Amino acid sequence: MLSFLIRRLLQTIPTVLAVVLLVFVLFSVVPGSIASTMSDDSDPQVELRMKKQLGLDQPVYMRFGAYVARLATGDLGASFRTREPVTTMIAKRAWPTLQLIFASMAFAVLLGVPLGFVAALRPGSLVDTVSMVLAVSGLSLAKFWLGLLLMYLFALRLGWLPSFGYGDGGLKYLILPAVTLGVSPMALLARTTRAAVLEIMTADFVRTARSKGMSETRVVKWHVMRNALVLILTTMGLQFGALMGQAVVVEKLFSWPGIGSLLVDSVLQRDIPAVQGSILVVVLFFLAINLLIDVLYGVIDPRIRYA
Amino acid sequence: MFRMIAVVAGMGLALAATAEAETPRKGGTIRMTAPYGSSFTSLDIHTTQRAQDEIYAKALHRSLYIWDSAQGKPVLELAKEDVVSGGGLVHTFKLRDDAYFHNGRKMTADDVIWSYNRIMDGSKAYPGARFVRVIEGAAAVEKGQAKEISGLKKIDDFTIEMKLTDKVDPGFYFFTALTSIYPADEGAKESFIQKPIGLGPFKFVEHVPGSRIVLERWDRFYKPGKPYADKVIVSIMAEAAARDVAFRNKEIDTSVLGPAQYVAYQSDANLKGTIVDVAEVFTRYMGMNTAFKPFADKRVRQAINYAIDTDLIINKLVKGKAYRATSWLPLTSPAYDKSMKPYPYDPAKAKQLLTEAGYASGFEFEWTTSQNESWGLPIVSAVIPMLDKVGIKAKVKQVETAVLAEVVRTGDYQAFIYSQQSGPDPLAALKCFHSSTPQPACNYMNFKNAEFDKILDEAGQADDAAKRTQLLQKANALLYDEAPVWFFNYNKAVMAVQPWLHGIQQNPTELTHQNVEELWVDETSPAK
């Protein structure tokens, strides 16, 4: 187990380096620079001085070398815009983003998995049809539109929840953004669970268990559910990564102070250190979640070995 | 007789009731919105020129001058008196002796001098340097040739002498938050960026990045009885649709409206009364590169102005959320000439001018644009068929707004569409067309006209305000005739304001920039 973890951690290094290189090169070649977004100065020398101060007058390979060297010490550099350390900026926004992601995933799992199970246990029934219509709708709805719809209904019409903001970080502010973000993975989990359960229900080992006189509840609990969990976990792992990306829209819509809105503003203003730092954190989060999922596979299904 | 007494008494009662209704109420929370992005750039307002950041900075900081929307000009704020001498170049400011920073220390001349020296630190390239550069010796500090601005002298703790390089009104240079006065001791500390200290009517409480800034009343603010509110919350709300829901749900007190919402609010009886608008000092236009042969001919540039049905575009596409441009200087400019008339829509005249210029069969050009809904791709798409009618073909080159800013500075275009600040100082706005102004500065069309230069130089030297205005109007009229741009519109900034929020100022420099100490909420506010 330990050697597996070390091996997987080492495998993440080339992935991280590839991402760092890609983002760096991309932002070096795209037109537009921080200097033009930060100053309207009539003196062209100002832009040159600003570029010099930010190190943008250096060749790309030198800047990249310096960046990687700093990165090796855990230093993500300082933001071009705020002149704050990028680590500080990200640290301030990490918790709200994690709150949003985990709340969305909790909503998705708590609703999507049971929905998929119920649908699979009664295929072709009204419950199955309704669940799958909901699932397909959830996958098709644009987050922006859904968010507005929820705001309109639960804030403006019913007055149950605030329409925007972080407030004190409490639950009432979290519900609408989390549901908006969680509907799509909920729908996907429902469909995945249904498909997995349906497939497992017809497997040889389930038929054998039934023929041995095992009750349907025990069959579902010990054989179907456990086997379906591997696929559900895989879907969850992939969805965590997707949620980090989709959170950008939701955070902007609900004025949620997460990494997504930091990333959007940083990209628009060509704040390269902030963009690199934010993307790096997203990638590391994605890798960490997937590593965790890999470990959980072994817990759920002992047949999976880490050799 | 009794009837007359009753009428007079009734009028008296009505006046008393009005006066009571307009008496500012103390307390409550003002809930403003910052609509221009998903975050504030920085809590160090010297480092950021975004309109978004100045919204909170107007509550937190103060500069030597402040914009007075009622008078339509900058007025003294941190100084009580300005004595002008030395042929209009030397200003002696008597500073307030009752202005306290939020750490309780009194502001002195040292703080003013320290702040301006900081802004001129050339290695940091602070955006406010373009204003402070008007003080003699400031440029030397910026270039590292001097440590302190030579034109800035402390006479005593509350008197400073400022020698300028040009005979200009310093008010236009020192009223924005970019030149805010910081406490000399605290401003240099690293912690300042996390917990800024200013001289404004509200002191910093909390910043939740990407969400809000909270400020509370500074009890030692120098204007007696002000500010009225206990607290100000500035929420970041970049999405117009989300602002709309929050405004209707009474969660926010102000919301900036785009063209579509402007129409919706106008047609809604409950919301119509919440609209506040002002002609901001921004001119939208299509710039033409005179290095591109057809645009070197004045007749071609004029033909373009005649060929476009500008009113139709403003009404249908911009939904009436703009004022038709009659030249460069906008409606709210002190030098705006009311007698100026815009180019009429006259395709026949356009065709005639093109023929005279030798382009009877037209020509083709590349038009660089961003996606902006009010001065970008939708406008370009509407104009193309109009130009096509007179034989001019336009090819669209779409770029990001950040890229467009670079394109116009480098002159790497044949034509572009843009929104450029054209005030509040009319002299500075027109100077962008002076031949001595380099293209990367703000002379984006590389406009050169000896007669224009002469008029503008005369205006700069004029002591008499009326004569100066007259000369500026003459220069503005000459620009109209030379038509270096298609004069599209002046921005009509529109904000929705809840009925319980009072004291909103129609600020043409930026409607969202409010002198917050003037605002107050009545008892009907949900955050009273």
A251 contacts B235? CB cut-off 8 A: no
Ramachandran area for residue B500 (φ above 0: left; ψ -120 to 50: alpha; else beta): alpha
Asked, for residue B6, whether it belongs to a domain, the answer is no
Q: Higher confidence at residue A262 or residue B278?
A: B278
**Per-residue CA distances from B273 to A279, B137, B250, B253 (Å):** 45, 51, 15, 14
3 state SS for B220-262: CCCCCCCCCCCEEEEEECCCHHHHHHHHHCCCCCEEECCHHHH
Computed over every residue of chain A, the mean pLDDT equals 86
Q: Is A104 on the interface with B (CB under 8 A)?
A: no
Q: Return the H-helix or E-strand segment holding A262.
A: helix A259-268
Using a CB-CB cut-off of 8 Å, the residues of chain A touching B209 are 89, 92-93, 257, 262
Residues B465 and B345 in one domain: yes
Instruction: Give pLDDT, residue A36.
Output: 65
**Whole-angstrom distance, CA of residue B514 vs CA of residue B31:** 12
Domain range list for chain A = 1-86, 87-304
Mutate to test the interface with B, among A27, A29, A40 (most CBs of B within 10 A): A40
Supply the Cα-derived Rg of chain B in whole angstroms.
25
Using a CB-CB cut-off of 8 Å, the residues of chain A touching B421 are 40
Q: Is A173 on the interface with B (CB under 8 A)?
A: no
B235 contacts A38? CB cut-off 8 A: no
Residues B163 and B285 in one domain: no
Using a CB-CB cut-off of 8 Å, the residues of chain B touching A247 are none
Q: How far is A76 from chain B (nearest CA, A)?
A: 18
Instruction: Give pLDDT, residue B212.
Output: 95
Asked, for residue B418, whether it belongs to a domain, the answer is yes
pLDDT tens-digit map of A282-306: 888 888 888 888 888 777 777 766 5
DSSP B371-408: --TTTSHHHHHHHHHHHHHTTEEEEEEE--HHHHHHHH
Residues B178 and B286 in one domain: no
Instruction: Give pLDDT, residue B187.
Output: 87
DSSP-derived letter for residue B328 is S
Q: Is B44 on the interface with A (CB under 8 A)?
A: yes
pLDDT tens-digit map of B48-93: 888 999 999 999 999 999 999 999 999 999 999 999 999 999 999 9
Q: Is the ipTM of this complex over 0.90?
A: no
Instruction: Give pLDDT, residue A283.
Output: 87
The rounded average pLDDT for each run of 10 residues, N- to C-terminus, in chain B (528 residues) is: 49 47 89 93 90 96 97 96 96 98 97 97 87 96 94 98 95 97 90 93 95 97 97 96 96 95 96 96 96 96 98 95 96 94 97 97 97 94 97 96 87 95 95 92 93 96 93 97 97 97 96 98 95
CA dihedral B7, B10, B16, B21 (to 10 degrees): -120
Residues B182 and B283 in one domain: no
Q: Is B95 on the interface with A (CB under 8 A)?
A: no
Instruction: Give pLDDT, residue B19.
Output: 47
Asked, for residue B259, whether it belongs to a domain, the answer is no
Supply the Cα-derived Rg of chain A in whole angstroms.
24
CA dihedral B228, B230, B235, B240 (to 10 degrees): -40
Q: Higher confidence at residue A159 or residue A38?
A: A159
Instruction: Give pLDDT, residue B14.
Output: 47
- Token look-up 């909901």 returns A134
Asked, for residue B166, whether it belongs to a domain, the answer is yes
* Residue of chain B with shortest Cα separation from A83: B42
Instruction: Give pLDDT, residue B2.
Output: 46
Helix orientation angle between B298-307 and B377-389, rounded to the nearest 10 degrees: 110
Taking only residues 121 to 140 of chain A, the set having a beta carbon closer than 8 angstroms to any beta carbon of chain B reads none
How many independent structural domains does chain B possess? 2
A79's CB contacts (< 8 A; 6+ apart) are A85, A86, A89, A266, A271, A273, A274
Is B387 within 8 Å of B306 (Cβ atoms)?
Answer: no
Residue B91's domain comprises: 62-186
Nearest to B41 among A31, A82, A93 (CB): A82
Asked, for residue B342, whether it belongs to a domain, the answer is yes
Mutate to test the interface with A, among B118, B172, B239, B437 (most CBs of A within 10 A): B239
- The lowest-confidence range among A102-111, A178-187, A280-289, B255-264 is A280-289
pLDDT band at A264 (very low <50, low <70, confident <90, very high): confident
Is B390 within 8 Å of B383 (Cβ atoms)?
Answer: no
Strand partners of residue B29: B231
CATH number at residue B169: 3.90.76.10
**Whole-angstrom distance, CA of residue A218 vs CA of residue B124:** 70
* Residue of chain B with shortest Cα separation from A257: B210
Residues B312 and B445 in one domain: yes
**Whole-angstrom distance, CA of residue A174 vs CA of residue A17:** 34
Residues B357 and B458 in one domain: yes
A50 contacts B211? CB cut-off 8 A: no
Q: Higher confidence at residue A13 or residue B365?
A: B365
Q: Residue A256: is its pLDDT beyond 90?
A: yes
B47 contacts A83? CB cut-off 8 A: yes
Residues B423 and B284 in one domain: yes
Q: What number is the average pLDDT over the span A72-97?
A: 89
Q: Residue A67: is its pLDDT beyond 90?
A: no
> Which of B208, B197, B33 shows the shortest CA–CA distance to A89?
B208
Q: What number is the average pLDDT over the span A140-157?
A: 94
**Whole-angstrom distance, CA of residue A108 vs CA of residue B488:** 50
Using a CB-CB cut-off of 8 Å, the residues of chain B touching A269 are 41, 402
Q: Return the H-helix or E-strand segment holding B359.
A: none
Asked, for residue B389, whether it belongs to a domain, the answer is yes
**Dihedrals phi, psi of B145, to nearest 5 degrees:** -90, -15
Q: Which fold has domain A87-304?
A: MetI-like fold (1.10.3720)
**Whole-angstrom distance, CA of residue B200 vs CA of residue B216:** 11
Our CA angle for B353, B358, B362, nearest 5°, is: 80
**Dihedrals phi, psi of B415, to nearest 5 degrees:** -150, 155
CATH number at residue B301: 3.10.105.10
Q: H helices then E strands: how many in chain B?
A: 17, 19
**Per-residue CA distances from B470 to A194, B449, B476 (Å):** 79, 19, 10
> Which of A297, A298, A103 shows the shortest CA–CA distance to A185?
A103
| Last residue of one domain, picked from the residues B186, B204, B235 | B186
DSSP-derived letter for residue A78 is B
Using a CB-CB cut-off of 8 Å, the residues of chain A touching B236 are 255, 261
Instruction: Look up residue B423 and give its two tokens.
Output: 């005030």
Is A36 within 8 Å of B409 (Cβ atoms)?
Answer: yes
Q: How far is B65 from chain A (nearest CA, A)?
A: 20
Instruction: Give pLDDT, residue B182.
Output: 98
Strand partners of residue B366: B395
Q: How far is B492 from chain A (nearest CA, A)?
A: 22
